[in-house]
Amino acid sequence: MDTSEKEISILGCGWYGLAMAKKLIENGYTVKGSTTTPEKQIVLKESGIIPYLVNFQQEAESFDVGFFSCPILIVCIPPKRSSAEQHTFLSKITKIADAASTSKVSQLIFISSTSVYGDINGQVDENMVPQPDTDSGKAILSAELLLKDTPGFMTTIIRFGGLIGPNRDPGRFFAGKSDIPNGNAPVNLIHLSDCTGITLSILQNRAFGYTYNACSPQHPGRSAFYTEASVKSGLERPHFKDELLNWKQVNSITIPKILNYDFVVKLNSIVIQ
């Protein structure tokens, strides 16, 4: 790998972005990280990240062009759950695409979500045309399409499943609750260790330009998985309804074919660190 390609900017140093930055630094990369608040710049700097204030919110747009002076940009700013954010998300992504396309960025990795697939009561993979059935899923899919159509850089899409790991213990999601619907639906989850591991594998293998469904290959039922997770966390058991309503199972063709990646966390063992 060219020395210059060991320089990466991460737009959005939240739960995944900060962990990804730390993993990259451990592997010899120079990382620029963005935040919207001056206070968090200190946190980024203490982690060895070069901090930048970057904001693409409407009426608050501001950024240092130096942040985009890098060959590889990782964009991990999912839309907030509020409907207002979902309606402005595409505008934000458009501004980011414009900044990237007029800078040194040649590879853009967009952190997407398996929410782009609706509950079709069947299995989905990267060869299927997504049909989102939620506002956030529609917003994220629109962002994917916009980035892939933007000239000036190549876009790689990573669609993460539901996120678990540090501070996201699945045992707490439903602990103590009862009459929880859809107990027999398969779960589509991924641990933070595999989020960062898959991203690093793409970088190290220069496996750019693909769409990856990043989701654990194990899909236990909701009732079995979350009950066991609650017990392992020493919490009260949840109680699910014995039923199968709307569901999907997210599979990946691209990860085993292109990356040959071996998942670190198997959902049937529920190892949460």
Cα separation of 143 and 234, whole Å? 40
CB 170 within 8 Å of CB 267: no
Q: Are strands 50-53 and 30-35 parallel, antiparallel or unpaired?
A: parallel
CA distances to 62, 101, 142, 237 from 58, in Å: 10, 20, 18, 44
Bigger pLDDT: 116 or 61?
116
Cα separation of 250 and 215, whole Å? 7
Share of the chain above pLDDT 90, in %: 87
- Give exposure, 48-61, as e/b (b: 16+ Cβ within 10 Å): ebbbbebebeeeee
The mean pLDDT value of the chain amounts to: 93
| pLDDT band of 273, cuts 50, 70, 90 | very low
Q: In the chain, what are the domains? A: 3-165+190-216+249-259 (3.40.50.720)
Looking at residue 271, what is its pLDDT? Answer: 46
| pLDDT band of 82, cuts 50, 70, 90 | low
In this predicted structure, the answer to whether residue 174 has a pLDDT above a threshold of 50 is yes
164 CB-near residues (< 8 Å, 6+ apart): 170, 189, 190, 191, 192, 272
Q: Report residue 144 CA to chain centroid gap.
A: 13
Q: Return the axis-axis angle of helices 15-26 and 38-46, rounded to nearest 10°.
A: 30
pTM for this one? 0.94
pLDDT in tens, 210-237: 999 999 999 999 999 999 999 999 999 9
| 33-42 LR contacts (CB < 8 Å, sep 24+) | 33/9, 34/9, 34/10, 34/63, 34/67, 40/13
pLDDT in tens, 25-63: 999 999 999 999 999 999 999 999 999 999 988 777 889
